Amino acid sequence: MIRRGVEEGNILTHSADSASFCLSLLLLLFFLSVSLFVDRFLYAMRLHDDQLRDISARFQAEMKKGLSAESNAAATLKMLPTHVCSTPDGSENGEFLAVDLGGSKFKVLQVKVRKEAGRVRRSVEMQEQTYPLPKELLIGRGVELFDHVSECLKDFLLQKKISLEKKHPLGFTFSFPCQQTALNQGLLLNWSKNYWARGLQGKDMVNTLRQAISRGMDVDVLALVNDTVGTMMTCGFDDQHCEVGLIIGTGTNACYMEELRHIDLVEGDEGRMCVNTEWGAFGDDGALDDYLTEFDRDIDAASINPGKQCLEKMVSGLYLGELVRLVVLKMTKLGLLFDGRVTDALRTKGKITTAHVAAMEQYKDGLKNTRDILLDLSLNPSPDDCIAVQHVCTVVSFRSSNLVAAGLAAILTRIRQNRKLKTLRITVGVDGTVYKTHPQYAKRLHKVVRRLVPDCHVRFVLSESGSSKGAAMVTAVAQRVTARRHQSLSSFRLSRDQLRSVKARMRAGLEAGLKSNSHSPVKMLPSYVFRTPDGTECGKYLALDLGGTNFRVLLVKIRSGLRRSVRLYNKLYPIPLEIMQGTGEELFDHIVHCISDFLDYVGMKKARLPLGFTFSFPCLQAAINVGTLVSWTKGFKATDCEGNDVVDMLREAIKRRNEFDVDIVAIVNDTVGTMMSCAYEDPQCEIGLIAGTGSNVCYMEELRNIEKNGLGEMQRMCINTEWGGLGEDGCLDDIITEYDNAVDRESINHGRQRFEKLTSGLYLGEVVRQVLLDLTRRGLLFKGRVTEALKTPGIFETKYLSQIESDRLALLQVRSILQHLGLDSTCDDSIIVKEVCGAVSRRAAQLCGAGMAAVVDKIRENRGLDQLNITVGVDGTLYKLHPHFSTVLQETVVALAPQCYVTYLLSEEGSGRGAALITAVARRDQVEM
Ligand code: 0WK
Ligand code: 0WK
Ligand code: BGC
Ligand code: BGC
């Protein structure tokens, strides 16, 4: 009773009659005198409110330092972003595994969050198992520690009969400072408490756990959370006002919801994110030196991390008992206790634990417990020794709660100021053995906090079920976001079987297209190119290259024989949209205008050069220089062209200009030009692939297979497949997504070129934009804000995919691209955008790979070969510039056409050289005829 009286400062009200009143007054005076003498000895540990406010102010200053990118490195409060942007919102649902590592107990749990029918509140069911953590593991090799965690997880699944086959989402509570750039990633900055496992600092703890788990369990580590964050989320499950998480256990720490705009280390200015303050390190820079006592310095010197975790060593459970021991030891050595008789036990580190301190401060049995504990230390305590030691505990633990109160006051003040509130109503979720088991700790803390921040109405909620329920909530949010995202992206993931079937459908399209009068969407257009160059070509040629990103006019000088070479001079000319989609006459007049300009530029206007015209659109050719435009593709839609002979239209335009003349010898598709250009280097090149604005392939087909008449006696001819048309008959509808249909609907050639719209540069950016639009409309991206920018067709050019997907690009730069597009984004948004780009481009590359596999296998079978060695000449910005497109395409061909050894030769000079070579061959054939 006396102790409670002293604690609450109203002792005299308790005593009933005069005799016992005198006795209790005597006892009180005796008690107070001993306490006063201890108070004097520990004067430096007794912090009054002004000092606490001073500490709180220093703390606030350090928080600011930690939040700013410039000063974060020097700050002791690391203010670590947690990527938890909201407290539970009631939509969390599902079954989760949780691992809780870093507190006094290592636990594995299963958390089931269910929304029962007809019930408003969700129910949470938890199964948990505590596992031993042998000391040697805490200071041994890091991998062994995580192998132990993995073993325990496996044991838990077996014990609880939870299937090992089923994929389990897991939330990992890891109670140490981690630098996180995402919810499921975190680099360990340093160990603390009694952990010092080797080889893990600077490593990603999620990966480390995944590697340890990977053997024999299908577990998906979706979230890494600090125990303070888990505690905040656990308490937030029942109390929406819970926006601070506090741990006073083996270690100590706090987290809270900070305004995103104040967290420099994370992009985004709107909303909030939970910040893990890692306040245990407060004072590591000397900010608390004027409050440190010799005992604190001794604790630090004897710890496994001297100079680190200054505040933690003054506050948390790992150290409080030791602090008391060092004080009692010093007082004994000074003869102030136990008549100065020091025992070995009292000299032994760790002999007084925080549990002892809590026991000694019990209201009722405190003094008796103190006596028992001191007897266990082979001391022979007198009653005032017991009172004195008990009071040492009080001073030490009181200082701890006071320091926590000062830190908490700093956080609460900051939140109130952030929100410009006069008074702040908030809940603090708390956990930790010191707070839970120490008889007076909680009350003392609440009292001092309310005294230090009277304008904050603070409710303290003890986390009954540890931090794992909270970790499960965070995992549920992560899973929901990931699931929704994956759901949208799953339709872009093509299985090996699906790719095999695309290959088969392409093959069927090729076969059908070779038939006479076929209506195959794969048109298989004869090119009238019967062989690849043989090095005898020579002469000067003009070449036009229309249909790709740039329109080029080229002068090509070919030398044969020993000094054989091809030299090009070219000039790029823009083709304005209004010309692309104007009249055919305007288009060809524009082309002739460019030729005229070029001939001036090379001074050959009078030369009447032979010309090869690379025209990258489907043309039904009747000869090498006769080709009827079947249909425009890509961004072209000039009128009065389709169904007309392209060479005629060019000749007409030249006539209209009447300034120069050329001899149009050949019209070639860019795939054919590319094949020829590369075959000049590598005679084995018999396929031309364009993966650029458009998508297409040509190859040398056996003439016997081409059921189109009047094609002559040669063995083979190059066929322009126009594979872009595959799917126009609906044969790809099972893999075409709603996003593809949206792109097709908004295109200028609705219903056409379906394969091209899944695989080529003109469309991939649009497919990505459609996915982003959908994810935003569903609130999974850009905070659900559908901006005008996002609704603007063509804003997401395919070049951005290549940039965004390049591995060296940090998320920051993804953000700056999005910024440039007028899309405000967060870090998570950047990750999602990168994933969407990856899914869309990967599918495109795989589909091209499946198409190519069909072509090479056809050639192999044409030639009755078990194995085919062949080269593909490639061009196109998508293939050339995208960081992964070419690799994925090649891998797909290897997987789907294992009997074909395909070499890919990038066309450095473009198809213009090829067009000139074809012109040279055609010219010679004309002369010989
Ligand atoms: C229980 C939580 C755990 C946290 C621990 C801290 O579930 O995540 O680390 O409290 O208290 P301690 O066990 O260190 O006293
Ligand atoms: C460069 C070639 C040209 C072809 C283009 C395709 O010289 O004939 O049309 O590549 O790539 P794109 O420019 O469409 O990316
Ligand atoms: C760790 C914190 C943790 C705290 C409480 C400290 O030592 O650095 O990450 O939250 O202990 O467990
Ligand atoms: C055209 C093809 C061309 C391809 C690549 C497609 O749109 O139809 O003729 O080869 O784009 O440029």
Average pLDDT of adjacent 10-residue blocks, the chain of 929 residues: 50 60 74 80 94 97 96 96 82 88 94 72 86 94 94 93 86 96 91 95 93 82 95 91 96 96 82 94 97 97 96 98 97 94 95 97 94 95 94 97 98 96 96 96 97 96 90 84 75 95 97 90 95 86 91 93 87 92 95 96 92 96 95 94 96 95 95 95 95 97 81 80 97 96 95 97 95 86 84 88 74 78 79 89 97 98 96 96 94 97 93 92 74
Q: Cα dist. 345→332, 350, 397, 561, 649 in Å?
A: 13, 9, 22, 99, 105
| Residue 75 contacts residue 66 (beta carbons within 8 Å) | yes
Note whether 110 and 216 are same-domain residues: yes
Q: Which of 432, 433, 435, 457 shows the shortest CA–CA distance to 445?
A: 435
Looking only at the bridges linking them, the beta strands covering 94-101 and 168-174 are parallel
Decide: 835 in ligand 1 pocket, CB within 6 A: no
Q: Per the structure block, which two tokens stand in for 108?
A: 């594995």
- How far apart CA 436 and CA 353 sit, in angstroms, is 15
Ligand 1 atom closest to Cα of residue 249: 15
4 assigned to some structural domain = no
Q: Whose CA is nearest to atom 3 of ligand 3?
A: 175
Q: Per the structure block, which two tokens stand in for 395?
A: 């001073």
**Chain position carrying tokens 């595994």:** 97
308 assigned to some structural domain = no
| Residue 654 contacts residue 585 (beta carbons within 8 Å) | no
Judged by DSSP in three states, 696 sits in strand
CA atoms within 13 A on the CB side of 76: 22
- How far apart CA 429 and CA 715 sit, in angstroms, is 81
Ligand positioned closest to the Cα atom of 226: 3
Report the alpha-carbon angle 59-65-69, nearest 5.
Answer: 155
From the CA of 864, how far away is ligand 1's center (Å)? Answer: 70
Handedness of CA 774, 779, 783, 788 (dihedral sign): positive
Residue 378 phi, psi (nearest 5): 60, 25
Note whether 475 and 621 are same-domain residues: no
Ligand positioned closest to the Cα atom of 179: 3
Q: Which of 275, 158, 270 shows the shortest CA–CA distance to 217?
A: 158
Q: Per the structure block, which two tokens stand in for 760?
A: 């080529």
Ligand positioned closest to the Cα atom of 676: 2
Ligand 2 atom closest to Cα of residue 550: 13
Note whether 473 and 592 are same-domain residues: no
Decide: 611 in ligand 2 pocket, CB within 6 A: no
Based on the number of CB atoms within 10 Å of its own CB, is 143 exposed (0-12), middle (13-18) or buried (19 or more)? middle
Decide: 523 in ligand 4 pocket, CB within 6 A: no
159 assigned to some structural domain = yes
Note whether 473 and 588 are same-domain residues: no
Please give the helix or strand (H or E) that residue 383 lies within, else none. helix 383-418
710 assigned to some structural domain = yes
Q: Whose CA is nearest to atom 4 of ligand 2?
A: 548
Decide: 370 in ligand 1 pocket, CB within 6 A: no
- How far apart CA 416 and CA 455 sit, in angstroms, is 9
Q: Whose CA is nearest to atom 6 of ligand 2?
A: 876
Ligand positioned closest to the Cα atom of 80: 3
From the CA of 482, how far away is ligand 2's center (Å)? Answer: 37
| Residue 678 contacts residue 685 (beta carbons within 8 Å) | yes
Decide: 280 in ligand 1 pocket, CB within 6 A: no
Q: Which of 552, 843, 860, 913 is catalytic?
A: 552
Ligand 1 atom closest to Cα of residue 468: 7
Decide: 467 in ligand 1 pocket, CB within 6 A: yes
Q: Which residues pair with 664 in a beta bridge?
A: 611
From the CA of 863, how far away is ligand 1's center (Å)? Answer: 71
652 assigned to some structural domain = yes
Q: Per the structure block, which two tokens stand in for 786?
A: 């559908």
Note whether 479 and 597 are same-domain residues: no
From the CA of 709, how far away is ligand 1's center (Å)? Answer: 83
Decide: 66 in ligand 2 pocket, CB within 6 A: no
Decide: 227 in ligand 1 pocket, CB within 6 A: yes
Q: Whose CA is nearest to atom 8 of ligand 3?
A: 176
From the CA of 294, how far away is ligand 3's center (Å)? Answer: 24
| Residue 405 contacts residue 311 (beta carbons within 8 Å) | no
Ligand 2 atom closest to Cα of residue 552: 7
DSSP 782: G
| Residue 602 contacts residue 542 (beta carbons within 8 Å) | no
**Could you give the angle at which helices 49-67 and 383-418 cross, rounded to 10 degrees?**
50
From the CA of 230, how far away is ligand 1's center (Å)? Answer: 10
pLDDT at 712: 59
Decide: 104 in ligand 1 pocket, CB within 6 A: yes
Q: Which of 495, 502, 481, 390 shows the shortest CA–CA distance to 440?
A: 390
Judged by DSSP in three states, 172 sits in strand
List helix spans (H) across 778-810: 788-791, 798-805
Note whether 472 and 537 are same-domain residues: no
Known catalytic residue at 616: yes
790 assigned to some structural domain = no
Note whether 152 and 253 are same-domain residues: yes
In testing the pocket of ligand 1, which one of 431, 468, 469 has its CB within 8 Å of the most ligand atoms?
A: 431
Note whether 474 and 589 are same-domain residues: no
Decide: 225 in ligand 1 pocket, CB within 6 A: no
Q: Per the structure block, which two tokens stand in for 472?
A: 């499960």
E strands in 116-225: 122-131, 168-174, 178-182, 185-188, 219-225
Q: Which of 670, 829, 857, 875 is catalytic?
A: 670
pLDDT at 175: 97
Looking only at the bridges linking them, the beta strands covering 551-559 and 539-546 are antiparallel
Ligand 1 atom closest to Cα of residue 251: 14
Q: Whose CA is nearest to atom 6 of ligand 3?
A: 251
Report the alpha-carbon angle 173-467-423, nearest 5.
Answer: 120
DSSP 459: E
Decide: 765 in ligand 3 pocket, CB within 6 A: no
Judged by DSSP in three states, 808 sits in coil
Q: Whose CA is nearest to atom 12 of ligand 4?
A: 694
Please state the pTM of the whole predicted model: 0.67
Q: Is 406 left (phi over 0), alpha (psi -120 to 50) or beta?
A: alpha
**Looking at 453, 484, 515, which one is the last position of a domain?**
484
Q: Which of 882, 739, 876, 889 shows the shortest CA–CA distance to 801?
A: 882
Note whether 112 and 178 are same-domain residues: yes
Q: Whose CA is nearest to atom 9 of ligand 4?
A: 617
Note whether 89 and 214 are same-domain residues: yes
Ligand positioned closest to the Cα atom of 175: 3
Decide: 849 in ligand 3 pocket, CB within 6 A: no
Tell me how many domains the chain contains: 2
Judged by DSSP in three states, 365 sits in coil
Instruction: Find the domain containing 110 and state its range.
Output: 82-259+465-484
Q: Cα dist. 626→506, 526, 528, 545 in Å?
A: 27, 11, 10, 17
Decide: 873 in ligand 2 pocket, CB within 6 A: no
Q: Per the structure block, which two tokens stand in for 628?
A: 């009827």
Q: Which residues pair with 690 in a beta bridge?
A: 696, 875
Q: Per the structure block, which two tokens stand in for 66?
A: 């930690």
Decide: 673 in ligand 4 pocket, CB within 6 A: no
Q: Per the structure block, which two tokens stand in for 348?
A: 């032994």
Q: What share of the chain is helix, strand, coil (3-state, %, to 5)?
A: 45, 20, 35
List helix spans (H) across 606-661: 646-657
Q: Per the structure block, which two tokens stand in for 478?
A: 């992560």
Decide: 756 in ligand 4 pocket, CB within 6 A: yes
Known catalytic residue at 552: yes
Q: Per the structure block, which two tokens stand in for 864?
A: 């009755």
In testing the pocket of ligand 2, which one of 545, 798, 878, 913 has its CB within 8 Å of the most ligand atoms?
A: 545
Q: Which of 861, 850, 844, 528 shows the shortest CA–CA distance to 693?
A: 844
Query: What CATH number should be reported for the domain holding residue 658?
Result: 3.30.420.40
Q: Whose CA is nearest to atom 1 of ligand 2?
A: 910
Note whether 100 and 166 are same-domain residues: yes
Based on the number of CB atoms within 10 Å of its own CB, is 378 exposed (0-12), middle (13-18) or buried (19 or more)? exposed
From the CA of 458, how far away is ligand 3's center (Å)? Answer: 23
Ligand 3 atom closest to Cα of residue 177: 9
Note whether 640 and 691 are same-domain residues: yes
Residue 100 phi, psi (nearest 5): -120, 100
| Residue 645 contacts residue 723 (beta carbons within 8 Å) | no
Ligand 1 atom closest to Cα of residue 436: 15
Decide: 312 in ligand 3 pocket, CB within 6 A: yes
Strand order in the sheet with 525-526: 525-526, 716-720, 695-702, 685-691, 868-875, 900-906
What residue type is assigned to position 456 of the chain? Answer: C
**Looking at 450, 484, 518, which one is the last position of a domain?**
484
DSSP 278: -
Within the chain, how many helices (H) and strands (E) appear?
32, 26
- How far apart CA 590 and CA 209 sit, in angstroms, is 63
Q: Whose CA is nearest to atom 7 of ligand 1?
A: 466
Q: Is 547 left (phi over 0), alpha (psi -120 to 50) or beta?
A: left
Decide: 612 in ligand 2 pocket, CB within 6 A: no
| Residue 526 contacts residue 711 (beta carbons within 8 Å) | yes
Ligand 3 atom closest to Cα of residue 255: 10
Q: Per residue in 234-246, is it b (16+ CB within 10 Å) or e — as a string?
A: bbbbebebbbbbb
pLDDT at 1: 46
Decide: 692 in ligand 4 pocket, CB within 6 A: yes
144 assigned to some structural domain = yes
Decide: 545 in ligand 2 pocket, CB within 6 A: yes
545 assigned to some structural domain = yes
From the CA of 818, how far away is ligand 4's center (Å)? Answer: 30
